[in-house]
Amino acid sequence: MSLAIFDLDNTLLGGDSDYLWGHFLVEQGHVDGERYERENQRFYDEYKAGTLDIYEFLRFSLKPLAEHDITTLQQWHRQFMEEKIQSIMLPKAAKLLQKHRNSGDFLLIITATNSFVTAPIAELLGVDHIIATDPELVDGRYTGEVSGTPCFQQGKVIRLKEWLAQSGHNLAESWFYSDSHNDLPLLEMVTHPVAVDADETLAAHADRRGWPHISLR
């Protein structure tokens, strides 16, 4: 069974779930709108530029989780899925997932976006497993801190290697689909790296390495 690994935001989705979660919180009045919107945009721009300080971003993005109970957060997330995620689901992404499913591959999403936001999306997409940045949970409440290694850049490699050791899977004949140059460390590890609606930096690197480009838009 080969691994088919997928980035989530701007790869399987036609948008960024982390960024949209921030927008949702602002629109619903759950956070200080002007400041939060400004910071959310700044972090998103830094992510695209490859200059993001992941720990600074996580202190920002996980803070709202720590300020509310799980039941409330889950209610918000159901509304978020309906209002923000359903509209960026990509039919071509569903077909790609089904192609790998039909081939008997194990479908794995690996994403920097935290698991509170992304686990329900992965369930909706019908993948076998998700590796995401994990918010710390103590006594049934989020603390605002991150648990373990953030699943970002080289952290994706670390988290994947940990999961491979635990799960018994390996990277023989593996695939990885991503839009972002932030995922170059992991793209270099797999048998079949694929650039998906790639940013300029990844597109140029893919051309140099002879990697295929596809679009799911």
In sequence order, what DSSP letters do the residues of 49-115 get, joined into one string? HT---HHHHHHHHSHHHHTS-HHHHHHHHHHHIIIIIGGGB-HHHHHHHHHHHHTTPEEEEEEEEEH
Does residue 76 carry a pLDDT above 90?
yes
- 7 is a catalytic site residue: yes
Alpha-carbon distance 209 to 197, whole Å?
Answer: 16
Grade residue 48 by pLDDT with cuts at 50, 70 and 90. Answer: confident
Instruction: Given the residues 7, 16, 18, 183, select the one marked as catalytic.
Output: 7
How high is the pLDDT of residue 83?
97
How high is the pLDDT of residue 44?
86
* pLDDT tens figures, 79-134: 999 999 999 999 999 999 999 999 999 999 999 999 999 999 999 999 999 999 99
Alpha-carbon distance 185 to 80, whole Å?
Answer: 31
Structure tokens at 40: 């959310």
| Helix runs in 110-199, H state only | 115-125, 154-167, 184-187
Q: Which CATH class is domain 17-87?
A: mainly alpha
The number of beta carbons lying within 10 Å of the beta carbon of residue 82 is 10
Asked, colleague to colleague, whether 3-14+89-214 and 17-87 share their fold, the answer is: no
How high is the pLDDT of residue 168?
94
**pLDDT > 90: percent of the chain:** 88
Least confident of 33-42, 80-89, 138-147: 33-42
Go through the chain and tell me how many residues it has: 217
Grade residue 37 by pLDDT with cuts at 50, 70 and 90. Answer: confident
- 183 is a catalytic site residue: no
Instruction: Given the residues 9, 18, 105, 197, select the one marked as catalytic.
Output: 9
Helix (H) or strand (E) holding 143: strand 141-147
Token pair 């023989």 is at which residue? 172
Alpha-carbon distance 78 to 65, whole Å?
Answer: 15
Domain ranges of the chain: 3-14+89-214, 17-87
Helix (H) or strand (E) holding 41: helix 33-49
Does residue 27 carry a pLDDT above 90?
yes
Alpha-carbon distance 64 to 89, whole Å?
Answer: 25
* pLDDT tens figures, 167-217: 999 999 999 999 999 999 999 999 999 999 999 999 999 999 999 999 999
* CATH code at 3-14+89-214: 3.40.50.1000
Residue 181 amino acid letter:
H
How high is the pLDDT of residue 12?
98
Alpha-carbon distance 96 to 48, whole Å?
Answer: 25
